[in-house]
Amino acid sequence: MEPDANVDAMELMRLLDLSAADKATWNMSSDGMRRFVDGLTTLAALECDPRGIKIRNVMMTRGAAYIAHVVDALKCRDVLLKCKSASALGSICMCRDSSVDLLKAHGTVVLAGLTRMVVGKNRWAQGDAIFVLGWIARWANDDVTLDAMSAVVPNACAMVASSWTTTAEDDAAEDRETNLRIYPYVFLLNLSQHRSLAPALDAVIAGIADTIEALLGDPSIAEAAVIARLSTSLMVTLVDKEPETVRPLVLAKKMLPSVAKLSRKCLDEDGVISDQCRILLELVVKTHR
């Protein structure tokens, strides 16, 4: 028998229920907070299938008070709890309707909390926050939200740049740095569908150039194909949308030979990366004529 999404949503509400005392202290050792963290983990793990979508929608329509607890957790001092809260909110934002509802009810607080995490120094928090912003950018269409996200474009570029110079001490840290190479590009690519990335275009192109050089230097980098697809797709989008601004940046950084080399690397099985590199080369040459 198919699990009842309404029943699952009610159980999630029970887990996410918090007392005033717990919210006043965010005491991670209390039974209520442990139950709350279980709820955050459950929400973050929801699939984007029909059942998962319905659970999210039920949470947004009938569980407003419990979603408010999740949003408020972004403001606590405990970094782990903030990261878990961000992951749970990211799950909500994976689906268009629940993302729109979340931003309508809590947009100012959510964007402010995620921005604080992005500009902070904790790399785990940066990755979780930019992951959520990437989903928000996919669905957003209002100026207030887009303006808020445009402000963190330089920070997204800095995440990618620092990921190539940060030494990962263990597998978990390597996963963290890989996320900091993927999630910022998802964010930038989605945001670029709605807004120009100026005045940070120089930093964006410089970041892509560094990424391509890193991939050429070590094609065995974790998730190399995903990183290559996202970075080249972003550059194709930017050159296509703003050729007069972006093309000189690409030429000034002498990127074309590296793009040509990347096109000959077999990083994926379907040849998408090579195709994107060839399109990019054609666009730059075309606008140069």
pLDDT at 3: 63
Angle at 184 between CA 246 and CA 212, to 5 degrees: 55
pTM, full prediction: 0.94
Q: Domains in the chain: how many in total?
A: 2
pLDDT, position 286 = 74
- Within-domain flag for 226: yes
Locate 92 and state its tokens: 């909500």
Domain span at 226: 152-289
- Supply the pLDDT for residue 34: 96
- Residue 179 maps to a domain: yes
Residues of the chain with pLDDT under 70: 1-3, 287-289
Q: Are residues 114 and 157 in the same domain?
A: no
| Shared domain check, 179 and 77 | no
pLDDT at 194: 95
Q: Are residues 285 and 192 in the same domain?
A: yes
Euclidean distance between CA atoms 96 and 165, whole angstroms: 35
Q: Tell me what pLDDT residue 1 has.
A: 35
* Cis amide leading into 219 (omega within 30): no
CA atoms within 13 A on the CB side of 164: 19
CB atoms within 10 A of CB 144: 12
Look at residues 122, 140, 175 and tell me which one is the last residue of a structural domain. Answer: 122
Closest CA to 227 of 270, 180, 191: 180
Instruction: Tell whether 87 and 45 lie within a shared domain.
Output: yes
- Domain membership flag for residue 157: yes
Q: Does the residue 289 lie in any domain?
A: yes
Tokens of 181: 């190479």
Query: Same domain for 156 and 286?
Result: yes
Q: Both 75 and 16 in a single domain?
A: yes
In angstroms, the first-to-last Cα distance of the chain is 64
Does one domain contain both 156 and 289? yes
Single out the residue of 260, 253, 272 nearest to residue 209, CA to CA: 253
Residue at 146 is within a domain: no
How many Å apart are CA 86 and CA 66, to the nearest integer? 15
- Residues 98 and 184 both lie in one domain: no
pLDDT for res 181: 97
Residue 137 lies in a domain: no
CA distance 239 to 281: 10
